[in-house]
Structure formats: structure tokens, C-alpha cells
Chains A and B, each alone.
Chain A
Amino acid sequence: MTLLEIRNLKVYYYTRRGVVKAVDDVSISLDRGEMVGLVGESGSGKSTLGLSIIRVLPHQAKVVSGSIVFEGIDLLKLSEKEMRKIRGKEISMVFQDPLTSLDPLQKIGDQLIETVLEHERNLSRKEACEIAKKTLQDVGIPSERMDNYPHQLSGGQRQRVMIALATILKPKLIIADEPTTALDVIVQDRIMDLLASLKKELKVTVLLITHDLALAAEKSDKIAVMYAGHLYEYGASKDIVSKPLHPYTQGLIDSIPDVFVKKEIREIKGHPPDLVNPPKGCRFHPRCPLRMDVCSVKEPPIVNVDGRLVRCWLYAQ
């Protein structure tokens, strides 16, 4: 069942250099209770897409067109006041760096309690405190830690607190933007396991934004690949990894080393394009080993190949 449906979303940044088409005509839908890995390099628009769902875009950015329908409501049509009720309560976010997203001057317990009281006005502080303790335990932090300040915790523990904050109101969608990028592998693996178990228990949908294709492949049900503001491929993780359809996805897989596979790596030639002035037609065509004449002229349509969405002329009629 669909929880979130994004249609033809365009988000542009208005900078002094010109208009940066960060997210350009992206359509994607997320089902309830699944984890979707949104994969791309820096500048691919993956974070902008995440921020536009929860409507916390920086001031230079504007949603130009499109719709973001969450449980039947177009979030883009809501007033800021109505959006505040959804943010945190229905959709929450986990950022990469917990140190900058937690209040350094407030005990972590108080931050959790405040979040509860903000949305559940009829609860007493004592009840909110109980919920906070329970949520901390669920993310693997003993409730004695309620009185600690963020700096007294390790990086992994802080990210657990972030996840507690993001799950305390039992949201239906969690957007996790590079939640483990700042962490070491062992801690990363534990945080991902925690997200996976919360996903299962709370039946929450998780949008995992990451640059790490292997991480997305291993942990999420589906993978969406973004490049230069476009969504180029979307389908089940194991299909994407075992049989990528888009040449960019193929290129990404060939370019990353893997600890369990002995292989040669091949780089993707060239650089990602400047999004003020993106290439005409398919944005990947200047780097694509399989480009055809049509690729530099017309934008490819999105085609459904055995349940997988791919935006490439190789598969279009």
C-alpha cells in the first residue's frame, strides 16, 4: 500500500550563478513498512528530495512544481501551521551529524520530553518522561542517560538518541539522511540493525538517503538511484545489484570495490554535470558508454521493465 507518492517534483535553487535544477521531474512512491535506499553522489539531489518531503528546504530553494502526497494529503498544499503537526509526528528525520542536530545545552531526556509534549498537549510531563525512557531503552540506551548532555555520549549513542527522537511519536515515515556516514563500520552496522528492527516493530517506512550503494543494497528493500537531479532507476535491491539496467547504475556497481568480491574496478569517465546548465537529453549521456544519438537530444522517458522503473533510451521504444 502506498504511503507516499511524489509526482513530477521539481526543486530548484536560486543562486547567484543561476538556477540549479537539484531535483528535476522526479516521481517515486514508497509503500508502507518498506525501507527504500535513495542512492546518489553528492549533488545528485538526494538530500534535497528528502528535505522537500518534510518541507525544511533552505531559503534559496523552491519547489517549482509537482506534488508530494502523503496518506492522501498533498504536503505542498499545507500551510506551515498544518505542516508542523505532520513534521515529527507523522514524518520525522534523522540527519548525518547528531552533534549539530541535538541541542548541546539541553539534557537528552528533556529534548525527548519536549518533543512529546509539543505534539501531545494533553499528556503530563510525568507521562511524557515515561515515554521518553521507554523510547531510549528501545534504541539501546539505558534510561539513566536521560540526564546526560549530548557531549557526554559517543557518536553512536548520539545517533541512537537522534533515532529515539525520530521515533518517539511513532511516525509513519522516517527520512534518514546519511545516518551512519560519520560512524565507524561496526557502529554503522548496529545503527542500521536498529533502524531495521524499528521498521519491523513500528511498521514504519524508512527512506534511507546514502552515497553507499553497498549499504543500501544490503539493508533496504528497494533502491532508487539518482543522478544529476533525475531518478534513473528504481526497483528491488537485489535485482538492481544483480542485474542493473541503467548504465549509470552499472557504472556505480563496477566502480566500487567490495570486500567479498575479487574484482577489477572501472571508473565512470568524466565528472557529474553542472546543474545550472545540465546536458541536454539524458543527463548521463556525456559519461555513458552506451549512448546513442537520441540520448543527447531528448530526455528519456520512464519505462517499466518487469516491475522496475528505468529512465533510459535503451529500454524505451
Chain B
Amino acid sequence: MTVLTVLNLKKYFPLQKSFIEQLITRKKLTVKAVDNISFKISEGEVFSLVGESGCGKTTTGRLIVRLEKPDSGRIVFEGQDITFANEKLLRPLRRKMQIIFQDPYASLNPRMTVGDAIAEPLVIHGIMSKKEAKEEALKMLESVGLTPSVTFYKAFPHQLSGGQRQRVVIARAMILKPKFIVADEPVSMIDVSLRASILKLLMKFKNIYNLTMLFITHDLAVARLISNTIAVMYLGKIVEMAPVDELVENPLHPYTKALLSSVPTIVPQMKREKVVLKGDVPSPINPPSGCRLHPRCPLAMGKCVKEEPQLKYVGNGHYVACHLV
């Protein structure tokens, strides 16, 4: 069953022009953060968006939980079109979709005890009384491994380590028993030896509640571990999308190949030929014509400059946007 459908989603951010620019040009400058992307996530699936900074993966996540308003396209969650839904309509849906942010230092109120922060969503949504919510929060603290839960309930965020804070953030997201979670780089600020435990905690909840997850990461190794499907983004576009093993073992897009050949690994002998891209990622304000990778792609042809490649189905659940395929 499909939980989330995203269709031709677009989000352009207008740029502030300087005073002189306003005088000399009428043209509006925009950053094409998310440019016409489509995908589906089925129930219980972990769908990863991977890409470098600035590729639009975080914006996509924020659009889906409607922290940002899309410019156009459609977002359908459990059969309900929420693309332009107003706050009043979104409220009940927020119970079902939660987001976990990257920085556990910035996503907790420093003046609120950890326990109150976890209990708050239950009270806000009018699900329980304050007292019941406290009981529930204590239970949740146990299940994210913050024991003794009574002590942790009264702790303030600054008394906890980064890993513990991220557990609190996960607990707060899970207390409403959501169906769908957006996890935006949940482990990139956590120390290496503790990352595994946070990832395992997310997997535990995923299995218990049959959660559907949109996992946003720049780390292909983490994506390989946690996801069923990976979509690779470049400059606001999805360039390749496939089941995880298929994508890693049979990458077809030159950008995916370049990414995979750059990821450090403890088994370098498993690496395929190196694909080297020229230059740096261009500005998303004025992205290249045709295929956005063409100025950097070692295999670019004349067609790539003029015509934008569409995502094509090539079998095995594998989609690629490249003229070569």
C-alpha cells in the first residue's frame, strides 16, 4: 500500500536582490531547491534521499511534512492531498507524520525537562491528561534506552550527551505512534561508536510500528544499511532511484557512479572504476541547461546540453534520468 505519493513537486526560493540589482533588473532570481520530483513510498518502506549538500534533499523532507509550502506538484499522504492544506487541516495529520532533525542540540527546548518535552505532544493533541502523558513519557524513555527513566525525565537537555539528546528527539517523535517519519540526517552529528545504537533504535521502532520512513542522508553507507530504496538527488532533481542493492551493485547514472566511487570503504577492492566529475557543483540559482550534470559529466553528449533527460524505467525497480541509458 502506498503511504506517500509525491508528484512533480517543485519549490523555488526567491533570492533577495541587492538595491542596485533591483534597479537594473526586473528578473526574479530563484534557487531551484526542488525541481519537479516524483516518487512513492509504500507502507513499511524506508526510502532514502541521498546527495551532496544543496541538492534539495532536506527541502524535500520539509515540504512533505509541510513545514514549507510547495510551489506546485502534489503530495498525497494516505490518500489525502496535503499539497496546499492549511494548518487546520494539517493538525490531525501531524500526529501521523513526524520529523527528526539533524541537530539534537537545536531541536530541544533548553528550558524544558526532557520528560516534559516528550509528553508535550500528547497533551497538545489532546490525547491524554498531563498525568497520563507523564506515565507514557516514562515508558517511552525506557524504550529509547534512557534509564532510569525517572532520573532522565527530570533532566534538562544540556545535561545530556549528543547521543542521549537524539534519543530524546526520537522518543518525542515516536510518542504519538506516527505512521510516517522523516529522519533528516539523524546520525550525522553523533559520534561514530554511538551512531550504530541510534540507527538500531530507529530500526527497532520501524519494526515494532511498521513505520514508513523518509530517510535523508549524505552518507551512502548509512543509506545502504537502513533503506529499502534509494533515490539520488543532484541540484534539485532525482537522477536515479532503485532498490538499495540494485543501486549499489548496478549504478547507471554517472553521478551515482561518481558518488559510489568516492565513498570511503574498508573494502576498497570492491570499488568499481573511478568516475571523476569535472569542477564543483554549480549554483542552483542558474542551473545548467539540459541534464544538470552535463558540464561535469565525463560522458556528456550534444543531446545532454539541450534536452533534459526524464526518469526512465529500466527494470528491477530501477529508474534513471540519463540519455546514455
A contact residues vs B (CB 8 Å cutoff): 41-42, 154, 156-157, 184-190, 211-215, 217-219, 241, 251-263, 265-268, 271-272
Contacts and interface: CB of A to CB of B under 8 A. Distances in A.
16 contacts: A184-B281, A189-B261, A211-B191, A212-B264, A214-B263, A217-B268, A218-B266, A252-B192, A255-B193, A255-B196, A256-B266, A259-B220, A259-B223, A260-B265, A267-B194, A271-B161
Contact of A265 (B199, B245, B263): B199
A215 B264 contact: yes
How large, as a class, is the contact surface on chain B? 35 or more
Interface in B240-280: 245, 248, 258-268, 270-271, 277, 280
B222 A261 contact: no
A217 B264 contact: yes
Task: Say what secondary structure dominates the interface of chain B.
Answer: helix
A48 B281 CA distance: 34
Given A41-B191, A41-B193, A267-B194, A241 B266 contact: yes
B192 A255 contact: yes
B128 interface: no
Contacts, number: 114
B221 A186 contact: no
A259 B263 contact: yes
Nearest to B55: A184
B195 A185 contact: no
Most buried by B among A258, A259, A267: A259
B265 A185 contact: no
B221 A185 contact: no
B225 interface: yes
B40 to A, nearest CB: 24
Given A156-B280, A211-B191, A256-B221, A186 B262 contact: yes
B80 interface: no
Contacts of B264: 185, 188-189, 212, 214-215, 217-219
Interface string B189-215: 001111111011000000000000000
A256 B198 CA distance: 12
A258 B265 contact: yes
Contact of B193 (A157, A185, A272): A272
A212 B221 CA distance: 12
Given A184-B218, A259-B220, A266 B259 contact: no
A253 B196 CA distance: 11
Given A184-B53, A265-B200, A260 B192 contact: no
Given A259-B223, A261-B270, 12 more contacts: A184-B281, A185-B218, A213-B192, A213-B266, A215-B264, A217-B265, A218-B264, A252-B192, A258-B221, A259-B260, A260-B265, A272-B193
Interface string B225-241: 10000000000000000
Nearest to B225: A257
A262 to B, nearest CB: 7
Contacts of B262: 185-186, 188-190
B136 interface: no
Given A185-B220, A187-B280, A260-B248, A267 B266 contact: no
Contacts of A217: 264-266, 268
A261 B269 CA distance: 11
Nearest to B244: A262
A42 B196 contact: no
Nearest to B164: A271
A257 B277 contact: no
Contacts of B225: 257, 263, 265
Contact of B221 (A189, A214, A266, A267): A214
B224 interface: yes
Q: Which of A189, A257, A261, A263 has the most CB of B within 10 A?
A: A257
B114 to A, nearest CB: 17
